[in-house]
Amino acid sequence: MALLAAGVLASGGATADLNAGFTPAIIQLGAAARLDYTIVADGEVGRRGLGFSAELPAGLALADPALNQISCPGFVEAPAGGDTLVISELSLAAGQSCQISVHVEALAAGNYSVTSSELSGAGAPDPPATAELQVVVNQALLGITYSQASARWGTGCGSAMSWTTPRAAFFLT
């Protein structure tokens, strides 16, 4: 389970919101997905010193290379093959958002949740953010081709099936 902690250095009840998500949300075993964190500085005050960390659950690891993007000033520690991501010293202007994206590799099949803790610091706490990832083994990728009186489909795994119909018309549901 992932644990996230964020520090918000702002005054007067201003907050920053943290959101998380995987792209794509379903991947094959051994593939990588992008884990996106978005922080939005609410209110009329900029933020400095924002940070958080995340520990990936067993079955997921930071890919090589792990860091894909950071859209604001700050530091990212995301060692390839590791399970801990540390973000620190982020700076955002009032109303600005920051996106941090890392690649995560699937080491085992299953359903994974990466859930943050509440954002903490000078602002009001924000509810936890959760990213969901499903890792599948040999998910069938179906493709159908049709020509005149025959049809063929494949599973994307090297096997295929074809048939011939006495007429050119048939229905697939």
pLDDT in tens, 90-116: 888 888 999 999 999 999 999 999 877
pLDDT at 11: 39
Q: For 6-136, which CATH class?
A: mainly beta
Low-confidence ranges of the chain (pLDDT < 50): 1-13, 121-122, 141, 154, 159-161, 163-173
Amino acid 14: pLDDT? 55
Domain(s) labelled CATH 2.60.40.680 in the chain stretch across 6-136
Q: Determine the Cα–Cα distance for residues 124 and 104; give it in Å rounded to an integer.
A: 30
Q: Decide: 121 and 14 in contact? Cβ < 8 Å.
A: no
pTM > 0.95: no
The predicted structure's pLDDT at residue 118: 64
- pLDDT computed for residue 12 by the predictor: 42
Return the pLDDT at 138: 80
